[in-house]
Every structure is written in structure tokens, then in C-alpha cells.
Structure 1
Amino acid sequence: MRRRVLEVLTVAVLGAATAGGCAQTVEGVAQREDGTVPDPDRTYGYVDDRCGLLDDSTVQATLGAAEVIRPYSGAVCQYILSRPGSGTIDVTFSWFDTGNLAREHELAARRGAVVKDTVVERHQAFSARRDVTGAACSATAAAGTGVLSWWVQYRGQKTGDPCVDAQKLLTATLRSDM
């Protein structure tokens, strides 16, 4: 019995010495891995009468609008929505299949937008708020081979947070399956 206790103590001492010898403190701040874009082969363009994989009723429901009109579809999709208590909301979707998130980020900052980096559905993204003719914001993310963006403006209003709505649409797009 005494021999068994001695063996256990020896193993415990050696284990503690080994663990202590391998332990180290690392300086710095933990950061998210800046890897590749999820779903690099997915396209987000205008397909089957949908913009960014969302149909009109999804855009309407996502923003809680009473009515939605899509006056233009193609390289970009434009929407005009009416929402009780918010009035008219102008929305634009765009997907640049060979775009670059860093370039879009730089352009938004250069145009005077307040830019905030974020991650949306595992995609590097940013919001860019710029209130010139009404409260307006875009949410842009690296997606597929390029970048996609939703821009939301509360027509004629200087209050409210259109970044929340832009990010809702961006999130819905990145969650969509074809």
C-alpha cells in the first residue's frame, strides 16, 4: 500500500512539474481569425425575381412595412416601402461580384460616413451612417466573390436608426438559401 501511495505521489509531482514547465503567458489581445469569406462560390445577384436572395415579401416583413414597391431591378434593386409610424423608406440592394470590402469601407469613410466595423453571420462587415437628405445607413459585407450592401434611408427624417434596418436586411440575405 505504501508503495502504491509513493507511485501516485511521484506521478503527481512529475505531472505538476511538466505542466508548470510547459505553461506560458502570451501577451496581446485575442483576435478573431481573418480567414476566407464563408460561401465563396455563392452568388447574391438578381435571380428569379429576387434581389440578394430575398423576395419582396421578405423585404417587406423584415422591415415591418405595410407596402412595398420595387421600381427597379438589375445591377441594383430599389425599393420604396411605407411603414406605419416611420413614413416612407427608400431601400437599395447591391452586390458587386468582384468587389472589395476594404475599398467600400474606404469610400464610405471618404464620403463622410460614420463607419463601424462588425461581423454579420460570420462575414466581415461594416455599417456606414450618413444623414444628408434623411437618416440613412448602409450595411455592407464581404460575400461570395465580392461585397453586398443594403442601404436604408428614412425619407425626410433626421431621427431614427436606419443602420438597424440595413443590418436586418443584410442578415436575412446572408442567412438565405437558394
Structure 2
Amino acid sequence: MTRRKLTGSIAVMSALTVVAGLTGCSRSVDGTAMKEGAGTSDQHSADQYPNLLKECDVLTNDVLAKTVGADPLDIQSTFVGAVCRWQALNQTSGLIDITRFWYERGSLDEETQVAKHLNYKIENKSIAGVKSIIMHGNDPNGSCGVASDAAGVVGWWVNPQGPGADACGMASKLMDLTLATNS
């Protein structure tokens, strides 16, 4: 193939790709355009779903702070969504990241497989009579997670940013307190 034919073929293919892309991404939508927040919303969703987005409130900030050795004034929520996150200033080892997750359709077996894939050290344990695992992360500060087989799978991770904290003890205590609230 000559250089001229090759250049022409590339130009034709490029043009077809652009036309196909524009055609594939455009469509008509019925209705009237409105600014974000201008429409009405269902003000009764809280009645229908009273616990929506309250997964992070299962333990208070005071309880979280006490469990990780922080002053209640030195803890703050950093994210709420599929997982709940906090940062607390531990009085001896510094900043600690705390993460809570609850996957209603998850399982302890899935969490175990993920932990194995990540080469975490895994211990089987019963917490508050519930089948659980302790997961030791592979970092020098001793991060530790606990997952329990409760209404899907629920878990806590404690990630100290410095050495000296008993992350597994803290994560286990948070799980024990969490499971006690479900009794």
C-alpha cells in the first residue's frame, strides 16, 4: 500500500469514527430542562426508609473516640456512603483512620477470599457469638480489620498512621459494640 492510500484510509476511518461517535452519543429526551434542585422531591422518603444513611450512626462519635483512645473532640467523620469513615487523634500513637462497612448482600466467605487475595493474616474468631474473622494488614503500623457474618457482612478497620496502637483490639471492640446494638 502506498503512503498516499494509507493516509487516505486513515483519514476516512477517522472521519467514520467521529461520525459514529457523535451519532451514538446523541439522542432526544422528552421533557423540559430544569436547573439542578429546581424540581420537587419526595419529602416522605424518610418515612418510608427511616434508617436510610444511618449506618454510620450505629456507634456515636464519643464511643468511637473512647474505643480508639481519642478525645471525643478529636474525631471527625470524613466520608459517608457505602462505607463510613472517621479520623481520630489517638492520645499516644497519633492519627488513626477508622472505617466501617456493611454489605447487606455480602458474606464472610467473600471477605475471607478478598483478605486471602491481599495476603492478609486471617484468624477465625467468634465475637458476641457471631462468626467473625480478624484480618491483619501488611503495613508497619499494624492496621487491622474485623468482619462478622451479620445481616450480610459488617466490618471495621482501624488503621493507625503511627506505631503503638492495638488496632486489632480496637477493631474487635468496635465490632463487639456494633453487634451488641443489634441484639
TM-score range, shorter-chain basis? Answer: 0.5 to 0.7
Runs (5+) with no aligned partner, structure 2: 1-50
Distance across 1 between alignment mates of 2:130 and 2:85: 23
1:85 corresponding residue in structure 2: 92
Check if 1:118 corresponds to 2:131: no
- Number of residue equivalences: 131
Answer yes or no: is the 8 Å Cα contact 1:45–1:75 preserved in 2: no
- 8 Å Cα contact 2:93/2:162 also seen in 1: no
Select 2:61's aligned residue among 37, 56, 59.
Answer: 56
Q: Is the 8 A contact 2:97 2:158 kept in 1?
A: yes
Question: Are 1:129 and 2:151 matched, yes or no?
Answer: no
Output the amino acid matched with 2:124.
D
- Asked which structure has the greater RCO (Cα within 8 Å, sep 6+), the reply is 1
Is 1:72 matched with 2:79? yes
TM-score by length of 2: 0.66
| Aligned partner of 2:114 among 107, 113, 116 | 107
Distance apart, 1:161 and its partner CA: 2.9
The equivalent position to 1:149 in structure 2, one of 138, 155, 166, is 155
3-state SS of paired residue (2:143): strand
Task: After TM superposition, give the deviation of residue 108 of structure 1 in Å.
Answer: 0.4
Q: Distance in 2 between matches of 1:171 and 1:138?
A: 13
Contact preservation (8 Å) 1:129, 1:138: yes
**Residues 63 and 109 of structure 1, relative CA distance in 2, 3 Å threshold:** same
Give unmatched runs, 5+ long, in structure 1. Answer: 1-43
Determine the structure 1 residue equivalent to 2:179. 174
C-alpha separation in 1, matches of 2:137 and 2:52: 25
- 1:110 shift after superposition: 1.6
TM-superposed deviation, 1:96: 0.3
1:139 and 2:146 matched: yes
CA RMSD of aligned residues (A): 2.0
Partner of 2:170 in structure 1?
Answer: 165
Following TM superposition, by how much is the alpha carbon of 1:109 offset from its aligned partner in structure 2, in angstroms? 1.4
8 Å CA contact retained: 1:70, 1:78 = yes
Amino acid at match of 1:111: L
Distance 1:96 1:45, change over 3 A: farther
Structure 1 Cα separation of the partners of residues 62 and 171 of structure 2: 16
Q: Could you give the per-residue CA deviations for residues 126-146 of structure 1, whole angstroms, max 9, x where no partner exists?
A: 0000132632010100111x0
Q: Distance in 1 between matches of 2:156 and 2:52?
A: 12
Structure 1: distance between partners of 2:171 and 2:134: 8
* Deviation sequence 1:118-159 (CA, Å, 0-9, x none): 000111000000132632010100111x000100011033x5
Alpha carbons 1:91, 1:150 under 8 Å: kept: yes
